[in-house]
Structures are given as structure tokens and as C-alpha cells.
């Protein structure tokens, strides 16, 4: 009866019972209606956000300043009346003491109620923010899992489809797995998220009703999991398979679900200090999960969108200019791919705006946007062909250069040997000027070899080419062969090869929408 009386509303330093009940109802409503209590992790749940007004439902209107002033005046009138009839001998001291005490009490009461209301509002805001942060966190997890599955399928020659083909048997039969760094980063984040929820459960022990908690455990069929030993990687190379990552994700979700059940089991008589504990736990959750989400975004960017030429300065992997050319072609190909992705997005936007009342200009714009995709395919085909040529040049040319160097090194010895063989049996071959010089010199008595006329050089001997000239000639011949292959290449072949990649991009766009 005390909490429903007028004296309680006037002199109590706690909120009215109806207002506290409304806050607890809203707090539990946000948790119960969230996907965090589902037994299986839901990636495609509704994006509808929980909203609440500044004033809680069924909240008793806050006491205005006029009410505070009226309470103070009423108290002072009563005190003055008591002082007039009972304490006429000590008028100034009693009046000053009573008025000061009443003023301080009502000021303290007002500040305390305001702080409690502010705390309740902060708790509700953080619960809502935590639910939204978990939604973003789960979406990033799903995107990473889908990306790993798509890359595994494409790397083994499969074509992407909807839904994606399972890869459990593929990973069991092959130990060579793609996206190893991304797998390990995801597993690390999931393990740390599991530990964060476990620590939150430990911190809530002092403010929960244990009997109520047991009833909620039975109602929600909660099976507490103490560790992640059952879902750790069992391979020698410490690489997680996709099934293990999914099991780890489900284990993290079950631990989060258990933590949410602990929030529902808060004691009925919890005071302001208890709600401060809840507020601190929610603040820690928000901080940690925001960091986890950013870390997964960085992992995806580092895996797919980080420039390829940004490697450790100690490595000399890209010192070769021909390999740098291939990296440049890859970057250009990626830019063309993003251009096509943007064009497809514009086509999807045009389809959404298209209806029976659409103007001819809107329809023509949609047709124009769709036709520009063909130009993107042609540019991608050209960049792909240039990249292929650069890669072949890098892979084949070093071996040919080494072979030519051996040939050039052996050439002087062969020429010297040939000249020696020719001079041994046939004598010296001289030009006309050499003959004249020799005949004018004095000579001893000997037998001379007659020379009839001028000896001509062998016209059938081909002039020797330098090493650089042969390399340039090889490059020109390869460029001509590449142009001939490009003319014979059918553009429709690349369309089929790129279709799987575009399906993946379209799926990512649907997830982001």
C-alpha cells in the first residue's frame, strides 16, 4: 500500500511501481522479440528495428517543476504552522533548519529520480543497439561463409548456383583449402565472442534470480556449453573446414542465447546498482562486437580488395618489371569487374522504378544501362587477353633467355674452331688489298701459292645478330601471334566464364540490401 499512496509519490526516492514495471516489460520485450533467442542462427531475419519513445509505455508522467515547488511550499506551510503553535520561543533557528532540510531533500529526490530514469533509458538504448550490432555481426559471418564456399567451388571447376552446392565431401577428400587466412580470422573472432558472452554470464550471477533462471532454462531448452573443445580444428595444419566454422558459429550463438536468458532472469527487487551492472555489461558487449564486426570487414577487404603489390618490403617478389605488368593487368581487370557490378546495380535500380506508369525516358534509360554491360564485357575480354599475354611473357621468357645465353656463350668457341679448321687445309683467304701488301714485301726463297684474281667472300653466310636484336625480334613475333589469337577469340566464351562471378556479385548485393 505504501508504494501506491500519496505519501510515497511525495516523499519516496524510488520510481513509482508502474513506471518500474513498464521499464522491465520493455527491457524483456526487446530481448524476447529479437532473433537472439532463436535456437538456430538466423541470417535472413527481418531488418525491422525496435523503437521506443523517450517516455516508457505506461510510464507515470514525470513530476514537473511546478509539482516540486508545490510539494516544497506545502511542506514549508506545515512547518510554519507547527512552528507557530509549538515552537514560538525558537522561531529563526527552527524555520531555517526545516526549510533547508526540506529543500535539500526534494532536490536530492529530484536528482535521484532523474538519474534512475536516465539509467533506464540508457539500458534500453544499449539493448537495442546490441541487437542491431549482433544483426550486423551475423550478416558478416554469413557473408564470409558464403564467400569461402563459393571460392572452394569455383577453384574446383564448379559453376555457382542457387542454392550453393555443399562442399563437405570436397573438403574431406582434399586437404588443400582456399582462404586459409580468412578462415583462421573468422575462427578467432568466434572464439573471442564466445568468451565475451561467457564473461557476461559470470558478471550477471549476482543480480539474477536463480530459481527463475532454472525455469527459463527449461522453457527455452538451454544447454549450457562451458568450452569450445568439441568444435576445435582437428587437422594437423590447424585449418578449419567450412563445417567446423559453421559449428563454431552455432556454438557462439548458443552461448549468446544463454546470456540473453540470463538477462531475462534478472531479480524482481533489483536496485539501481544492479542495473548499473547490467549497463556496464551491455557497454562491454557493444564495444567488443563493434570491434569484431570491423575486424571481419577488414579481413574480407584484405582477402579480396587489398592491392596485390602491397607486400612486405623484405620480399623481392615483384622486382621483375614483367610481373609488375601482369599485376597491373589484374588490377585493371578487377576495375572492369567492379564497373560491370555497378552497371548491373543500376539495372536493378531501374527495374525497381519500372511500373505501368513509367515514362518512355525511364524505359530507354533502363535499356541503355543494360546495353552498356556489353561494353563492359568487351573491355574485360581485352584486359583478360592482355593479362594472359603478360603472364605468358613472364612464365616463358626467362627460360628462353637462359637458353639463348648458353647459345651465345658457346658461339665464340664454335666460330673459332670453325675458322681454325678452314685455315688448316685451305690456306688463308685474302682480300685484294691484303694481296697487294703481301706481294710488295721482301721474301726468302720459297715456294709461293699462286693467287688468281681477287678472292670474294662467301655470300651465302648469314650475318650474325646480337642477343638484343634476337630478343626484340621474338617480342615482335609474340605480339603478332597475340593479335592473331585475339581476332580469332569468340567473345561469347568469356561471357559464360564471367557469369559465375557476376552471380556471386549479385548475391552480395542482395545481402547488402
| Domain boundaries defined on the chain | 2-304, 317-410+467-513
Displacement of CA 195 from its chain's centroid (Å): 22
295, 181 Cβ separation under 8 angstroms:
no
Sorting pLDDT into bands at 50, 70 and 90, what band is 286?
Answer: very high
pLDDT beyond 80 at 465: no
Q: Which of 20, 288, 296 is nearest to 179 (CA)?
A: 296
* pLDDT attached to residue 403: 63
Mean predicted lDDT score pLDDT of the chain: 75
370-392 pLDDT, tens digit per residue, is 888 888 888 889 888 888 888 88
pLDDT beyond 50 at 312: no
420, 486 Cβ separation under 8 angstroms:
no
What span, in angstroms and rounded, lies between the C-alpha atoms of 419 and 428?
A: 10
Displacement of CA 351 from its chain's centroid (Å): 29
Q: CB under 8 Å, gap of 24 or more: what pairs does 175-181 form? A: 175/235, 175/237, 177/152, 177/239, 177/241, 178/148, 178/151, 178/152, 179/147, 179/148, 179/151, 179/152, 179/303, 180/239, 181/299, 181/302, 181/303
pLDDT beyond 70 at 354: yes
Q: Which residues contact 361 (CB under 8 A, 6 or more apart)?
A: none
* Count of Cβ atoms closer than 10 Å to residue 229 Cβ: 7
Q: All 3 cell numbers of residue 370? A: 543494360
Sorting pLDDT into bands at 50, 70 and 90, what band is 347?
Answer: confident
How does DSSP assign 207-272, residue by residue? Answer: GB-HHHHHHHHHHHT------SGGGS--STT----HHHHHHHHHHHHHHHHHHHHHHHTB-TT--H
What span, in angstroms and rounded, lies between the C-alpha atoms of 102 and 95?
A: 11
Q: CB under 8 Å, gap of 24 or more: what pairs does 8-17 form? A: 9/63, 10/71, 11/105, 11/109, 12/109, 13/108, 13/109, 13/112, 13/113, 14/113, 14/116, 15/60, 15/113, 15/116, 15/117, 16/60
Lowest mean pLDDT among 94-98, 219-223, 464-468: 94-98
pLDDT beyond 70 at 471: yes
Lowest mean pLDDT among 13-27, 31-45, 160-174: 160-174
Lowest mean pLDDT among 5-14, 426-435, 483-492: 426-435
Q: All 3 cell numbers of residue 469? A: 636484336
Q: Which of 7-11, 277-281, 405-409, 427-431 has the highest mean pLDDT?
A: 277-281
* pLDDT attached to residue 253: 95
Report the run of H or E that residue 120 belongs to, with start and end: helix 91-155
Per the model's pLDDT, the better-predicted residue between 424 and 176 turns out to be: 176
pLDDT beyond 60 at 226: yes
pLDDT beyond 80 at 486: no
pLDDT beyond 50 at 293: yes
CA distances from 346 to 115, 418, 445 (A): 50, 72, 101
Sorting pLDDT into bands at 50, 70 and 90, what band is 280?
Answer: very high
What span, in angstroms and rounded, lies between the C-alpha atoms of 109 and 100?
A: 14
* Count of Cβ atoms closer than 10 Å to residue 126 Cβ: 19
Amino acid at each position: 500500500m505504501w508504494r501506491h499512496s500519496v505519501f510515497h509519490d511525495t516523499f519516496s526516492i524510488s520510481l513509482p511501481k508502474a513506471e518500474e514495471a513498464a521499464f522491465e516489460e520493455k527491457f524483456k520485450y526487446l530481448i524476447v522479440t529479437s532473433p537472439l533467442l532463436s535456437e538456430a542462427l538466423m541470417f535472413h531475419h527481418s531488418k525491422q528495428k525496435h523503437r521506443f519513445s523517450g517516455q516508457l509505455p505506461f510510464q507515470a508522467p514525470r513530476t514537473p517543476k511546478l509539482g516540486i515547488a508545490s510539494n516544497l511550499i506545502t511542506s514549508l506551510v506545515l512547518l510554519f504552522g507547527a512552528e507557530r503553535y509549538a515552537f514560538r520561543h525558537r522561531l529563526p533557528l527552527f524555520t531555517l533548519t526545516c526549510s533547508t532540510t526540506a529543500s535539500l531533500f526534494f532536490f536530492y529526490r529530484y536528482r535521484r529520480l532523474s538519474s534512475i530514469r536516465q539509467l533506464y533509458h540508457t539500458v534500453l538504448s544499449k539493448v537495442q543497439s546490441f541487437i542491431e550490432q549482433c544483426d550486423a555481426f551475423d550478416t558478416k559471418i554469413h557473408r564470409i561463409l558464403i564467400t569461402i564456399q563459393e571460392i572452394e567451388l569455383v577453384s574446383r571447376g564448379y559453376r555457382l548456383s542457387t542454392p550453393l552446392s555443399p562442399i563437405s565431401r570436397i573438403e574431406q577428400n582434399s586437404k588443400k583449402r582456399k582462404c586459409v587466412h580468412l578462415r583462421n580470422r573468422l575462427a578467432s573472432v568466434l572464439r573471442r565472442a564466445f568468451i565475451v558472452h561467457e564473461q557476461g554470464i559470470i558478471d550477471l550471477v549476482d543480480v539474477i534470480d536463480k530459481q527463475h533462471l532454472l525455469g527459463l532454462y527449461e522453457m527455452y531448452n538451454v544447454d549450457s556449453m562451458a568450452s569450445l573443445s568439441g568444435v576445435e580444428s582437428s587437422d594437423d595444419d590447424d585449418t578449419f573446414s567450412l563445417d567446423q566454422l559453421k559449428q563454431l558459429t552455432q556454438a557462439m550463438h548458443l552461448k549468446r542465447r544463454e546470456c540473453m536468458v540470463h538477462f531475462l532472469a534478472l531479480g524482481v527487487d533489483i536496485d539501481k546498482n544492479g542495473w548499473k551492472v547490467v549497463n556496464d555489461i551491455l557497454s562491454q558487449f557493444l564495444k567488443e562486437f563493434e570491434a569484431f564486426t570491423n575486424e571481419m570487414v577488414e579481413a574480407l577487404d584484405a582477402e579480396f580488395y587489398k592491392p596485390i603489390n602491397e607486400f612486405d618490403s623484405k620480399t623481392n617478389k615483384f622486382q621483375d618489371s614483367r610481373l609488375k605488368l601482369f599485376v597491373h593487368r589484374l588490377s585493371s581487370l578487377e576495375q572492369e569487374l567492379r564497373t560491370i557490378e555497378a552497371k548491373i546495380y543500376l539495372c536493378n535500380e531501374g527495374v525497381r522504378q519500372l511500373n505501368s506508369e513509367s515514362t518512355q525516358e525511364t524505359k530507354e534509360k533502363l535499356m541503355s544501362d543494360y546495353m552498356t554491360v556489353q561494353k563492359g564485357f568487351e573491355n574485360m575480354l581485352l584486359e583478360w587477353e592482355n593479362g594472359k599475354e603478360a603472364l605468358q611473357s613472364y612464365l616463358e621468357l626467362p627460360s628462353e633467355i637462359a637458353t639463348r645465353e648458353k647459345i651465345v656463350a658457346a658461339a665464340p668457341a664454335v666460330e673459332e674452331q670453325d675458322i681454325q679448321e678452314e685455315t688448316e687445309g685451305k690456306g688463308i683467304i685474302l682480300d685484294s688489298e691484303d694481296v697487294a701488301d703481301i706481294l710488295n714485301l721482301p721474301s726468302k726463297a720459297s715456294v709461293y701459292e699462286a693467287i688468281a684474281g681477287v678472292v670474294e667472300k662467301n655470300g651465302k653466310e648469314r650475318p650474325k645478330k646480337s642477343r638484343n636484336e634476337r630478343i626484340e625480334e621474338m617480342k615482335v613475333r609474340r605480339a603478332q601471334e597475340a593479335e592473331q589469337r585475339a581476332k580469332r577469340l569468340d567473345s561469347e566464351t568469356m561471357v559464360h566464364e564471367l557469369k559465375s562471378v557476376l552471380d556471386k556479385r549479385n548475391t552480395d548485393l542482395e545481402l547488402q540490401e
